């Protein structure tokens, strides 16, 4: 079973997440940040990863710690559920359209974390959330999930659409990358013999 639960408690946040990589896209998410909850719901639904994530954070300061730490915990849960990454396809890619916006996301589940973020916004905030926090979320998720992750917004104007297309693209690319390849089930997808 490709499942895992991770808990992280600091003076800034208390977060617990569980994932089932072979789920159906069911989610139960509560971070205290409405827009982040909406994005994590999109991630779950379109990746078919079941996600439960509960967070309590120092939102009276700002949304930074809760946003970043939720990605750390979720990334760690995905990495733990992947184990040695045997049998996975390893690579995934998606073009994600939302109205006027198009975003490309490419993943190598190589266990070598790296983020390339080519996403620009015309505003500083989306509701009460600082736009710069979305890069922080993707960085932490890639780092702790062991993912090489390239996110590039090709075009778009509406900041909500741009962010949502990034998360939906991540979901679809991640779904491809972590699927079990029936032709190589049990084999590590690397000539090195390990990831």
Q: Is 140 helix (H, G, I), strand (E, B) or coil?
A: helix
Q: What is the pLDDT of residue 110?
A: 96
Q: In what order do the strands lie in the sheet with 27-30?
A: 3-9, 13-20, 50-57, 27-30
pLDDT, tens digit, 9 for 90 and up, residues 31-58: 999 999 999 999 999 999 999 999 999 9
Which band of pLDDT confidence, cut at 50, 70 and 90, is reported for residue 73?
Answer: very high
Return the closest-CA partner of residue 63 out of 105, 8, 121, 125.
125
Residues 6 or more apart in contact with residue 56 via CB below 8 angstroms = 13, 14, 15, 32
Whole-angstrom CA distances from 115 to 135, 153, 166 are 9, 14, 13
Q: Is 26 helix (H, G, I), strand (E, B) or coil?
A: coil
Number of Cβ atoms within 10 Å of the Cβ of 109: 26
Q: Is the pTM of this model over 0.85?
A: yes
Q: What is the pLDDT of residue 186?
A: 87
Q: What is the pLDDT of residue 99?
A: 98
To the nearest whole percent, how much of the chain has pLDDT over 90? 94
Which band of pLDDT confidence, cut at 50, 70 and 90, is reported for residue 67?
Answer: very high
- Does pLDDT of 155 surpass 90? yes
Pure H helices in the chain: 34-47, 64-82, 132-145, 159-178
| Mean pLDDT score of the chain | 97
Yes or no: domain 3-178 corresponds to CATH 3.30.710.10: no
CA distance 28 to 11: 24
> From the centroid of its chain, how far is CA 115?
12
Q: What is the pLDDT of residue 185?
A: 82
Return the closest-CA partner of residue 151 out of 126, 121, 173.
173
**Which DSSP letter does residue 66 get?**
H
Tokens of 119: 């996403």
CA distance 41 to 44: 5
């Amino acid at each position: 079973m490709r499942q895992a639960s991770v808990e992280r408690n600091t003076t800034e946040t208390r977060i617990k997440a569980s994932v089932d990589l072979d789920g159906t896209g069911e989610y139960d998410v509560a971070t205290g940040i409405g827009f982040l909850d909406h994005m994590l719901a999109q991630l779950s639904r379109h990746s078919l990863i079941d996600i439960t994530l509960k967070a309590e954070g120092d939102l009276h300061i700002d949304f930074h710690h809760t946003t970043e730490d939720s990605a750390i915990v979720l990334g760690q849960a995905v990495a733990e559920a992947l184990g040695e990454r045997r049998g996975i396809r390893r690579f995934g890619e998606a073009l994600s359209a939302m109205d006027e916006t198009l975003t490309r996301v490419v993943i190598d589940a190589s266990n070598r974390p790296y983020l390339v973020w080519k996403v620009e916004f015309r505003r500083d905030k989306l509701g009460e959330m600082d736009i710069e926090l979305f890069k922080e979320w993707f960085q932490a998720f890639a780092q702790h999930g062991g993912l090489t992750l390239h996110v590039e917004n090709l075009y778009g104007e509406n900041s909500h659409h741009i962010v949502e297309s990034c998360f939906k693209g991540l979901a679809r690319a991640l779904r491809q990358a972590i699927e079990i390849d029936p032709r190589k089930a049990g084999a590590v997808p690397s000539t090195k013999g390990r990831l």
